[in-house]
Amino acid sequence: MPLESIRKMVLVCLMTALTAVGAQIAVPIGPVPIVLTNLFVLLAGLLLGPTQGAAAMGLYLLLGAVGLPVFANFKGGLAHLLGPTGGYLLGFVAAAWLVGVLSHGRPSRWFDGIAVVLGSLVIYALGVPWLKVVTGMAWTKALAVGMLPFLVGDAVKAAAAVMLAWSLRPALLRHVRTASA
């Protein structure tokens, strides 16, 4: 197996693990807890690109679906994936892919900033309707408990993801150059 393939697999697994750890840093405030997961979802897209970023989040969901306690508050299982937060969890794959598509190959903080904002909106676009359907809440209530309390924190996480990406990319690129030399 080529060294570059192994490197990509290791980075996918690392982002999956960081996402699982981020899920455990949780503040329960209702059916949707405040977690650091979104930070790593966005960072996966920024650092790994669309394919590997989405793969990292897909692996995260697969691990949770088979019962490993990778979701918030050490939860796992298909029932949790289909519960009130299931739409947000599925949105992680789409968000990482979109962030990767929009930012990969464009060395600009502006592209990265736009990418993480749109990635965050994708998570809400899948999560809030899912929350509404699963819980039977009205739209106003689903928005009030599934989006509004998270906007400021998610903006901070999005900004942190861009800053971390700009700090980590040089090291990742340097490693690629030395590995291929």
Q: Rounded CA gap, 67 and 34, in Å?
A: 21
Question: Comparing 36-45, 96-105, 170-179, which segment has the lowest mean pLDDT?
Answer: 170-179
| Mean pLDDT, residues 72-79 taken together | 94
Q: Rounded CA gap, 65 and 78, in Å?
A: 4
- Summarised one tens digit per residue, pLDDT across range 137-170 is 999 999 999 999 999 999 999 999 999 999 998 8
Note the maximum CA span of the chain. Answer: 58
- Summarised one tens digit per residue, pLDDT across range 27-50 is 888 788 889 999 999 999 999 999
Q: Rounded CA gap, 151 and 121, in Å?
A: 10
Identify the helix (H) or strand (E) that includes residue 34. strand 34-35
At 137 the three-state DSSP class reads: coil
Residue 31 pLDDT: 80
Residue 181 pLDDT: 43
Residue 175 pLDDT: 56
Q: Rounded CA gap, 25 and 38, in Å?
A: 11
- Using the predicted structure, report yes or no on whether residue 128 has a pLDDT greater than 70: yes
- Using the predicted structure, report yes or no on whether residue 106 has a pLDDT greater than 80: no
| Mean pLDDT, residues 110-135 taken together | 97
Quick one: pLDDT band at residue 3, thresholds 50, 70, 90? Answer: confident
Residue 170 pLDDT: 85
What domains sit in the chain, N to C, each tagged with a CATH number?
3-180 (1.10.1760.20)
- Using the predicted structure, report yes or no on whether residue 178 has a pLDDT greater than 70: no
Quick one: pLDDT band at residue 180, thresholds 50, 70, 90? Answer: very low
Residue 174 pLDDT: 66
Residue 27 pLDDT: 84
